[in-house]
Amino acid sequence: MAKTAVVTGATGFLGRQVLQVFSSAGWKAIGTGYSRANPPTLHKIDLSDADAVRSLLDEIKYDTLFHEHCNSHQLTTRWGAANRFPDKCDQDPDGARRINVEATQHLAQACNTHSALLIYISTDYVFPGRPGEAPYEVEADPEPTNLYGQTKRDGERAILEITQDTALGVILRVPVLYGKANQPSESAVNILLDAVWKAQENGAQVKMDHYAQRYPTNTEDVAHVCLDVAIKYLDAKDERQSLPKLLQFSSEDRHTKYEICKLLADIMGLPLAGMIAIGADPNASVQRPYDTHLSTKALQDVGISVRTQDFEAWWRREVKAYRK
């Protein structure tokens, strides 16, 4: 009997890939979205509405209660639905807290009730990224420097606390993501394609960050890790308490945003004279995170592959430029 995964944020950049990878692996994958959800394919639900979440998850549980797999064969994933953009968080702190923290608490409580595993996608922005500190191990103390990182850290804490006795909560931190997108603006990496085109305009002087070190990681790779984690933790059953509750996944492809633009421009055969590389601001009182590189040791220790696709090769295929 197929296992069931509920994927929140399934209309989003990462959630779409997760839904697809679980479906391809033979799971019954049920997605939820909000403004972009198109029922009945995807459930439309406001995750900050605790009653609506409870009744949907109660309903899904009854739809997919396969007792022969024991009651842990339902998986609720809290991949996508989060207020991801740091700036958006700052504009609406209450909204960010409702969706990144309170909704997460409701989901953790629902998973305890339904004996379902909760996998929560978090971010490298829980770390300050001061020069010389990376790579961060899972044990490192989170010390977020912006509201987005703070609300994600608070979401992590809520999960760890609520699922402490049941061992049904797992956190997977990931860095900036790239991959298949409906439009480049869905990803802080894909959108650099637009910046490269903007730099082609007459007299362009597009400023681009050449300070922060980034480790762009493909959404398809993250989705496969999610699947591996789900299988590993569901299979562990009674031994689950001994598995780590915090995991981190990242590629080792290291670039500044300016370097990514350079690479994309090279692939497309475009010049980049219209782009200006911006380094550290010597006058800034609070420096932006320099390097929040995530160590993948905890994932490797539990035997999960951390292989990633090659960044440049993926983009060469994506822009159909196979020749160097």
Ligand X SMILES: NC(=O)c1ccc[n+]([C@@H]2O[C@H](COP(=O)([O-])OP(=O)(O)OC[C@H]3O[C@@H](n4cnc5c(N)ncnc54)[C@H](OP(=O)(O)O)[C@@H]3O)[C@@H](O)[C@H]2O)c1
Interface positions with ligand X (CB under 6 A): 9, 11-15, 33-37, 45-48, 79-82, 84, 99, 121, 123, 152, 174, 176-177, 186-188
Residue 105 or 200 having the CB closest to ligand X? 105
Where does residue 107 rank: exposed (0-12), middle (13-18), buried (19+ CB within 10 A)?
buried
Catalytic residue, candidates 125, 136, 148, 233: 148
CB of 217 to ligand X, least distance (A): 8
Residue 11 or 72 having the CB closest to ligand X? 11
- What the block records as the tokens of 318 is 């994506």
Token pair 């980034």 is found at 214
Does 62 qualify as catalytic in the annotation? no
CB of 282 to ligand X, least distance (A): 28
CB of 307 to ligand X, least distance (A): 19
CB of 211 to ligand X, least distance (A): 18
Per the rule left: phi > 0, alpha: psi between -120 and 50, beta: everything else, 136 is: beta
Residue 177 or 212 having the CB closest to ligand X? 177
The span from the first CA to the last CA of the chain, in angstroms, equals 47
> 128, 139 in Cβ contact below 8 A?
no
Rounded to whole angstroms, the Cα distance separating 124 from 146 reads: 12
Residue 15 or 142 having the CB closest to ligand X? 15
Cα-based distances in Å from 221 to 153, 166, 178, 272, 311: 23, 28, 10, 30, 11
* Cβ-closest position to ligand X: 12
Report, as residue numbers or ranges, the catalytic residues: 148
